[in-house]
Amino acid sequence: MNTRCSLLVSLLAIALSGCGPKDATPAAAKAAAPAPAAAAPAPAAPRVIEITANDTMKFNLTTIEAKAGETIKIVFTNNGTLPKEAMGHNLVVLKPGSDGGAFCAAAMAAKATDYIPESLKSQVVATTALLGPKKSEEIILKDLKAGEYPYVCSFPAHFAVGMKGVLIVK
Ligand SMILES: [Cu+2]
| pLDDT (tens digit per residue) in 95-122 | 999 999 999 999 999 999 999 999 999 9
Distance between alpha carbon 158 and the CA centroid of its chain, in Å?
23
> What is the whole-number distance in angstroms between the Cα of residue 155 and the centre of ligand 1?
5
pLDDT value for 110: 98
- C-alpha 129 – ligand 1 centre gap (Å): 11
Superfamily name with CATH number, domain 45-169: Cupredoxins -  blue copper proteins (2.60.40.420)
Q: How far is the CA of 83 from the centre of ligand 1 (A)?
A: 12
For the beta sheet containing 124-127, the strands, ordered from the edge strand earlier in sequence to the opposite edge, are: 63-66, 164-169, 147-152, 92-94, 124-127
Q: Do 70 and 144 touch, CB atoms closer than 8 A? A: yes
Contact 103, 120 (CB under 8 A): yes
What pLDDT was estimated at residue 39? 56
Q: What radius of gyration do the chain's Cα atoms show?
A: 27
Cα of 157 vs centre of ligand 1, distance in Å, is 8
pLDDT of 6 reads: 46
Query: What's the pLDDT tens digit per position in 28-45?
Result: 444 555 555 555 555 568
β strands within the chain, DSSP E: 47-53, 63-66, 72-78, 92-94, 124-127, 135-141, 147-152, 164-169
Judged by DSSP in three states, 109 sits in: coil
Q: Which three-class secondary structure state does DSSP give residue 79?
A: coil
Distance between Cα 125 and ligand 1 center (Å): 18
Amino acid at 50: E
- Residue ranges covered by each domain of the chain: 2-41, 45-169
